[in-house]
Each structure stands twice: as C-alpha cells, then as structure tokens.
Amino acid sequence: MRAQTAFYLLNLCNPVTKEIKVGLLAIVALVALFIGFNFLRGSNVLSSNKTYYAVYPSVEGLNAGAQVVLNGYKVGQVKSLELMPEQNNVVRAALELDKGITVGDSTKAGLSGSLLGSKSITLLLGRNTKTFTGGETIRTTTAIGIADAFQAKALPVLDTVGSTLSHINAFLNKDTELSIQGTLKGARGSTEALQALIIANQANINQITRNFAQMSAALNKSTAKLDRIASNFAQLSDSLKSAPIGPGLRRLNSTLAEAQGALKSVNSSLTNQKGSLGKLINDSTLYRNLSATAASSDALIKDLQANPKRYVHFSVFGGGKDKKKTETTVSPNGTTTTEVKQTSSVK
C-alpha cells in the first residue's frame, strides 16, 4: 500500500507532457519507416549479414534487390548500386550475403541474366588463400549464364535478319511494286477468263459429271464379277501352292545335270586328241588325207567321164587286143602322178 502511494506521488511530481509523447511517437515512426523502407528494398538493417562489393563496367538490367545466387540457391541480394565517376564511371554493387557464406580472394561475382531480361549475380567459389570478413571487393566476371550465351549468339543472327530485311525493303522499290501489281492484275484476268470458260462449258462439265456417275454405277455393278475373278485367282494360287512342283523341279534339275554331264563328255572327247573325234578335229593329217582322197576321186570321175573306154571295154566276139590303161594318182601332199599300165582284153 505504501509502494503504490509512493509511485502515485512520483507520477504527480514528474508529469509527461504531450510534446514529449508526440516526439517519441515520431521517432518510433521514423525508425519503423526506415526499417520498412530498407526491408522493401531487400536490406534488413537488423540482420547480421556481411556486405561485400563488386565493380562492373556496366550493370544494364541489374537493380537493387536483385538476387545473389550460389549454385542456383539464393544466398544474398544486391544492397545498393553506386556510380563511381573517379574510376571511369564504373558501377560498384554492394552485395549483402548471408553470414554463413564464406568468400575469399578466389571468389568471383558473375553478372548473369535471364531470358526475360532481368539480371542477377552468381557467385563462383574457389580455393581461397585469404578469407574475407566483410567490406572487401570481390573479383567480377560477366556473361556466365545461359541467357547471356544465348544473347551473344542471337545478336549476330538478329543483325543478319535486320540486314536481310533492309535488302528486301530496298528490293521492293516502286518498279518492283508496279511489276507485282501487274502480275496480280494478270492473275486476276486469268481467273476471270477461267471462270468465263467454266460458265461457257457448264453443259459439257455437267455431261462429264453424269458420265462419271454412270461409270461409277457400272463399276459398282461389276464388283461381283471382280470378286469372282479374285476368288478364281485365289483358287488358282492355292492349286499352284498345293501342286507337286518341288518333285518336278528336282527331276528337271536332275535331267539338266545329266545333260550337262553328257555335254562335258562330248566336249572332252572333242578336245582329247587320242580319240577318233579328237584326231578328226585336231589332227591336220587326216584332213589332208581326206582332201587328197576327195581330189583323187574327183579326178577319177572326171577322167572316167572324159575317157570311158579306158576303163570299160566290151568285146562281143571275144579276143581283143591288149589295151593300155592310164591311172592318175593324187598323193596326200597334192602331187598328181600319171601311170600307163598294159591290160589284157577279156576273152
């Protein structure tokens, strides 16, 4: 009871004015506004994260609050961007990293982008010889993302496409436009002429259509006949399939083999010079003898026709005088020999 009374008396002795309350409320509001503004920017003033710096010649598309990623995982954010005119207008980015991330002299901060155009910073860690504790400047690199590589490849292609479009626009001048318009007019005239031709020959076209319809009907009627023909072919195929063609082919092959053997035997006989046929074909002596015999026979026949009395003599009364007979002989080498012989008459 005494303590409560003393506290009441103290409050009466030290009254808090409205001005002090308003001032305290304003201070609290400003602190909350500052903390909230930095929080919306991605910076937490109450956190124990460490801040590092990275310097880039250009940060096109990079904004404060952009992500800082390591192996695809967010480990921090861009706290602020500052232009430095005294260093050829390079841009220094303040990177706020989680306190569990260790960086050093081998760490690189790569500026990479996405396909949508936004930029981020990717950390590349290595074997550090010196570990940073905060406030140091990290080495930088650019164009390490897939989007950057794609952009580097796509830009020359886009330039080529632009150049091609420029050439096409230069090609499509007034003369070309007039030529294209003339071509279109010609095509339109051809279309109109074709339409007029179709209208003029509408009756013939209708007749052709009717003929096609009649032909289709006739083909439909002939379907049954075609089915029967197909059935007959199927039966013929089945008959050929079941026919004993194999034994016949084997007998034919056997006959052909025997004929081939006979032909080989005849050929061997003709080429063998020891046989009669071989000697007849290959030995020229027999040929010359046959030729000489044929020549002798021919000479004998001619002499017989010319002098029949030398070879045939008839005596009705008997007792004739001795006659002389001339014989002409042709040797195998072609030499002709004539010999006169004395003959006695028949009594």
Q: How far apart are CA 255 and CA 2, in angstroms?
A: 146
| Bridge partner list, 340 | 326
Domain containing 127 equals: 50-152
* 3-class SS shares of the chain: helix, strand, coil, % to 5: 55, 20, 25
Tell me the C-alpha to C-alpha distance, in Å, between residue 173 and each of 165, 167, 176, 181, 271: 13, 11, 5, 12, 89
Instruction: Measure CA of the first residue to CA of the last residue in the chain; give whole Å.
Output: 211
Domain boundary, last residue among 137, 152, 167: 152
Q: How far apart are CA 220 and CA 214, in angstroms?
A: 10
| Count of domains forming the chain | 3
What would the DSSP string read from start to end of 114-167? -TTS-EEEEEE----SSB--SSPEEEEEE--SHHHHHHHHHHHHHHHHHHHHHH
More confident residue, 341 or 245: 245
**pLDDT value at position 305?**
80
Rounded to an integer, the average pLDDT of 13-30 is 73
Question: Using one digit for the tens of pLDDT, what is the confidence trace for 232-252?
Answer: 888 877 776 776 777 777 888
272 class by beta-carbon count within 10 Å (0-12 exposed, 13-18 middle, 19+ buried):
middle
Q: How many angstroms from the chain centroid is the CA of residue 217?
A: 47
Question: Using one digit for the tens of pLDDT, what is the confidence trace for 146-191?
Answer: 555 566 566 677 778 777 877 777 666 666 777 777 888 888 888 8
173 in a domain, yes or no?
no
Q: Are residues 125 and 57 in the same domain?
A: yes
Q: Are residues 98 and 130 in the same domain?
A: yes
Q: Are residues 142 and 55 in the same domain?
A: yes
Whether pLDDT at 266 is above 90 = no
**pLDDT value at position 189?**
85
Q: Are residues 78 and 126 in the same domain?
A: yes
Q: Are residues 54 and 148 in the same domain?
A: yes
Q: Tell me which residue of 98, 93, 97 sits closest to 63, measured CA to CA.
A: 93
218 in a domain, yes or no?
no
Q: How far apart are CA 280 and CA 287, in angstroms?
A: 7
Rounded to an integer, the average pLDDT of 114-118 is 68
More confident residue, 144 or 269: 269
**Segment (H or E) for 22:** helix 18-40
Structure tokens at 67: 């992500």
Output DSSP code: residue 172. S
**pLDDT value at position 90?**
92
Q: Are residues 68 and 147 in the same domain?
A: yes
